[in-house]
Structure 1
Amino acid sequence: MASDCQAFLGEKDHFLMSTRIVNATEGGNLSVQVQVPRADSCSQVDAQYLKVGSEGHFRVPALGYLDVRVASTDYDSFAILFISKELEGAASTAVQLYSRTRDPSPQALKAFHDFYPTVGLLGHTMAELPRPGTSAAAHRPP
């Protein structure tokens, strides 16, 4: 994930990788269940990704996501989402890599690393979030 969101930047070294279950619903919307691990618990967030315009274009009012677009996908193993959001009155940008497997392919990682700078995000805004139960230091970029 890469983001210029101040909340993310302040806490990115403490985040763990989340798990998402995505189900297509009628009309091209998505029902998304997010499991967010914490140091001592796990929380769940349910959100509706509402289709806007073309395929792969959504908004998610419950999360403050004003614009969500599938920026890149191979349709089999990964997708990269571009997100424009507003949190507590502050606009920010995020790019997220989603993988169908626990470890994204080299092609998915390359696509992610090639894309996020194109939307103005710098290297310090990126974090490879570790899976719960793994060493966070082992997953941090240099």
Structure 2
Amino acid sequence: MPVVLVTPLANGDLALKFGYSTPDGGCQKTDTTFTKGAVDGQFSNKAMAQTNIRVASTDYKHFAVLYVETQKGGVRNVWLQLYARAPELFPEGAQKMQQLVPQVGLNPSQGTLLPRSGDKSTDRWID
């Protein structure tokens, strides 16, 4: 199961440690820092070409919808990711994510809510 450890830094940035299993049964670990943006709750990571990362919606108890924008090679991509505290899909979180789709400029007919995978990774709205 993928694991993310988020640690707030004194300067307002976030240190993230990612760990996830690989197809060969091993474990891949990555450390990265997300730089605090101009607006509270907004972060970026230039190494990952992520220019705008923020929590678009959360109930602080069951789910969070993350907005991610990337800019690389003149191509801009936007997507939403739904995170939950339990392996089961939280219906209110999925509903909120679907409501946000047109608000962030995505076309509902071009995206999908992917079913949960066997490794319990995040559900994503893809465009």
Q: TM-score, normalised by structure 2?
A: 0.74
Q: State how 1:1-142 maps to structure 2 within 5 Å.
A: 18-41=2-25, 42-121=27-106, 122-126=108-112, 127-132=114-119
Q: What percent of counterpart residues are identical?
A: 26
Q: How many residues align?
A: 118
SS at the partner of 2:47? helix
**Greater RCO (Cα-Cα under 8 Å, separation 6 or more):** 1
TM-score for both structures, normalised by structure 1: 0.68
* Distance of aligned partners of 1:129 and 1:31 in 2 relative to their CA distance in 1, 3 Å threshold: farther
More strand by share: 2
| Contact persistence 1:47–1:63 (CA under 8 A) | no
Aligned Cα RMSD in Å? 2.5
Structure 1 stretch displaced more, 93-102 or 40-49: 40-49
Q: 1:61 to 1:117 in 2, by over 3 A?
A: same
**Structure 1 gaps, min length 5:** 1-16, 134-138
Question: Whole-Å Cα distance in 2 between the matches of residues 106 and 27 of structure 1?
Answer: 36
Structure 2: unaligned runs, 5 residues or longer: none
